[in-house]
Amino acid sequence: MICFPNAKINLGLDILKKRSDNFHDIETCLVGITLCDVMEIKESDSFNIEIFGEDIGVETEGNIIFSLWVKLKRRFSLPAFRIKLLKNIPSGAGLGGGSSDAAFFIKEINKAYKLEMNDSQMQEFLVDIGSDSPFFVGNNISLATSKGDVLKPIEYDKKLESTFVTIVVPQKRINTTKAYENISPKRPKLPINDLISLPMEHWKYHIKNDFEEYVLGEIHELSGVRDSLYKEGAIYVSLTGSGSGMFSLSEKELNLETLPKDYFIWSGRLIF
C-alpha cells in the first residue's frame, strides 16, 4: 500500500477558551494543500516505522501511527506493519503532517483489510491521536470547532479554488504546548464562519491567527517574510496552526527569490 498524506493550512485561528481537560476550544477553517508525505505500508512480523527526509526525532513507539495501530488492534484482528515514511511536510510548522499520516494510515488499513468503518468511525479513532487528524479523513474544506475535531461545511469565496498557495517555513520551529501557554483566549467580534465568505481581498483586514503575535515575537524575521509576500502580489498572508509555517494565497505564482535561502519554500494548490 502506498499513499500520499497531504498537509493543511488554517484560514484564521481563534483560541476561544481553555477547557477543563487542558485542551482549548478553537474556531478555524481547515483546507488541504497538495504538499504531501509518501507512506508505504507492508505487513511484517513486527511493527516498525522508518523515516526518510526530515528527522522528526521520534522512535517507532513514540509515533502516533504506532499509537493508532495499538488502538485499532484492540478492536480488529490486524497484523504488524513495516512502514516507510518520506517526510516532505515540515514538522512543527502547523501543517498537520503527523496528523495526516495517521489519518491516511487508518484509511488505507480500513480499505485493505475490509474493516468497513465509515468516515465518522475512523474519525472517532483519530480524535485522541491528533485534534486535526479527523479533518484528513474527508479532506474537505471545513469549519473546525471544539478542539479542532468537530467539523462542518463552510461557505467561502470561490476564488479560493483557483488560488496558488505558497508555504514558507524557517529553520526555527515552535513548540505547540509553549505556544498555547503564551495565548490569552478570547472571543472575536465576528466568527470565522462569517469572515471566510467575504471577498478574499478583505481577509487580511479581518481574518487573524491568534498565535501570530507570539510566533512573530519568537521568530522576528517572519514579519519581513510576510511583507515580502505581500510585495510580490499575495492576496492574503498568515501563519498556519500554532507552528512557525507561514503561507500566502495569490492569483499567480509568486517570485520567491527574495526569501531566505535556508527556509523551506513550497508552492502548489489547495484541495477541494
Catalytic residues: 8, 132
Provide the CA 133 distance to its chain's centre, in angstroms: 8
C-alpha cell at 127: 480524535
Provide the CA 13 distance to its chain's centre, in angstroms: 12
How far, in Å, CA of 98 to CA of 8, rounded? 11
Instruction: Collect all residues with Cβ–Cβ distance below 8 Å to 59 and sequence separation of at least 6.
Output: none
CB of 234 within 8 A of CB of 225? no
C-alpha cell at 40: 508505504
Strand order in the sheet with 80-87: 2-3, 38-44, 80-87, 48-53
